[in-house]
Structure 1
Amino acid sequence: MFEISWKEIVTVGMVLFAVIDIVGSIPIIVNLGAKHGRIESEKASVVAALIMIVFLFVGEEFLSLVGIDVNSFAVAGSFVLFFLALEMILGIHLYRDEEASSASIVPLAFPLIAGAGSMTTLLSLKSQYHTVNIIIAILLNMILVYAVLKSSPKIEKMLGKNGLSVIRKAFGVILLAIAVKLFAGNVKGLFV
C-alpha cells in the first residue's frame, strides 16, 4: 500500500488527466463562468479531490455490499473509458449530464471533474496500482485542475478551438489504449 513508484504515479496521473479532460472542458467552464459569474477554482478542486479520495477507499466496500467484485467493476469501467475515448476521438456525444443551473460546486466538482468516468477509473486503477500512488496522482491532477480553472479564459485564447481539439483527440487515443489494457488485465478474473 505504501510503495511509492514515480512510474505508477505518472501512469495513473495520465489516465486521470485523460478521463477528467479538464483542458477539453475549458469551453464548458468558460460558458459556466459567463452564465453564472465567478468560478470558485479552489473550492471546486478541493471538493473534487475529496470526492475522489473518499470513493477510492469506500467504493470497493460499497461494491461488495451490493455483491460486485472489483474485476467486474474494472471490466465495466473499461467499457466506460472506451466510450469516453470514442467521444474524445470522434467528437461525438454519446452521454452528457443535463445542463447545470448554476456554477457552484455541483457542476464543477461533480460531475465535471469527479464524474462517473473518474469514479469508474479510480476503482479500475485500484485493482492494478498501489493506493498511495493513486492518491498522489489525484492530488497532482487537482493542482493541475486548479491551475486550468484559474486560467481557463487565457488557455482558451492561447490554444484556440483547433488546439483544444487536437489535445482532446490525443488524450482520447491514450484513453482508448488504457481501456483496452484494463479490460485485458481484468477479464481473466471474471472466469476464475
Structure 2
Amino acid sequence: MLEFFSLKETLTASMILFAVIDIIGSVPIIVGLKKKFGKIEAERAAIVAGILMIAFLFIGNTILKLIGVDVNSFAIAGAIVIFVIALEMILGIEIQKNTESKSASIVPIAFPLIAGAGTLTTTLSLRAEYHDINIIIGIIINTIFVYLVLKSANWLEQKLGDGTLQVLQKVFGIILLAISIKLFTANFAQLFSTYVKF
C-alpha cells in the first residue's frame, strides 16, 4: 500500500476533508456544547470520528457492492451532498438540523458534527480519485487537527472572533463548491464513457 503514497494526493484529500468537516466553522457550536455540558471529551470524540471515517472508507465500498452501486455513481451522489454543504456554508443557511443530546463526546461531536453524513459520503467518494493510503493519512491528519481544535475551542473563539469564523466558513464553502463540481464532472465523464459506446 505504501508504494501508492503520494504527497499531492494526501494534501488534496486532507484539504477536502478539512473543508467538509469544517471544524473551525463549528467552533461556536463546540463552545456552546462545552458551556451546556461543562466538559468536552476531546480525545474520545476525535478517536471515534477517525475510526468512523476509516471504517466507512472500507465497509462503505462493500455495502455499495451488495446493493449493486458502483463507486463512480456514489461519488456523484457524494458530490451533490458536498454541493449542498457548500451552499449551507456560503449562504449561511441550515438544511440539516442538529439534534439535541445528553452527551458531548461521541454524540453530537464525533457524530454527526465531525463524521456526519457529508464527511462519510466524501470519504468514500474520494476512493474514486485517490489511493486508500493517501485518504487514510488525510483522515489521521484531520483527526489530530480536530482534537487540537476541541481542546482549544474557547481560545480559538476569543482569538478569531465571529466575523473571522464567518469569513473562513464562506471561503471553505467556495472551495467545497469547486471540489464538488470537479468530483461530479470527473465521475460523470467516466460513467458516460462506460455506458455510452460509440
TM-score interval (norm. to shorter): over 0.9
Matching of residues 150-189 of structure 1 within 5 Å: 150-189=151-190
1:72 and 2:83 are equivalent in the alignment: no
Hey, what does 2:35 align to over in structure 1?
A: 34
Q: Which has the larger radius of gyration?
A: 2
Matching of residues 1-192 of structure 1 within 5 Å: 1-2=1-2, 3-191=4-192, 192=194
For structure 2, the 5+ residue unaligned runs are: none
What per-residue deviation string (whole Å, max 9, x for no partner) do you get for residues 31-70 of structure 1? 1111112100001111111111011111100111122111
1:32 and 1:121, CA in 2 relative to 1: closer, same or farther beyond 3 A? same
TM-score by length of 2: 0.94
Q: Distance in 2 between matches of 1:17 and 1:155?
A: 17
Letter of the structure 2 residue corresponding to residue 141 of structure 1? N
Letter of the structure 2 residue corresponding to residue 129 of structure 1? Y
| C-alpha contact (below 8 Å) 2:44/2:105 kept by paired residues | no
Q: Distance in 2 between matches of 1:78 and 1:152?
A: 30
Letter of the structure 2 residue corresponding to residue 169 of structure 1? K
Q: Alpha-carbon deviation of 1:95? A: 1.8
Q: Distance in 2 between matches of 1:144 and 1:91?
A: 24
For structure 1, the 5+ residue unaligned runs are: none
| C-alpha contact (below 8 Å) 1:75/1:183 kept by paired residues | yes
Q: Provide the alpha-carbon RMSD of the alignment.
A: 1.0
Kindly tell me the number of residue pairs found equivalent between the two proteins: 192
> Secondary structure, in 3 states, of the residue corresponding to 2:36?
helix
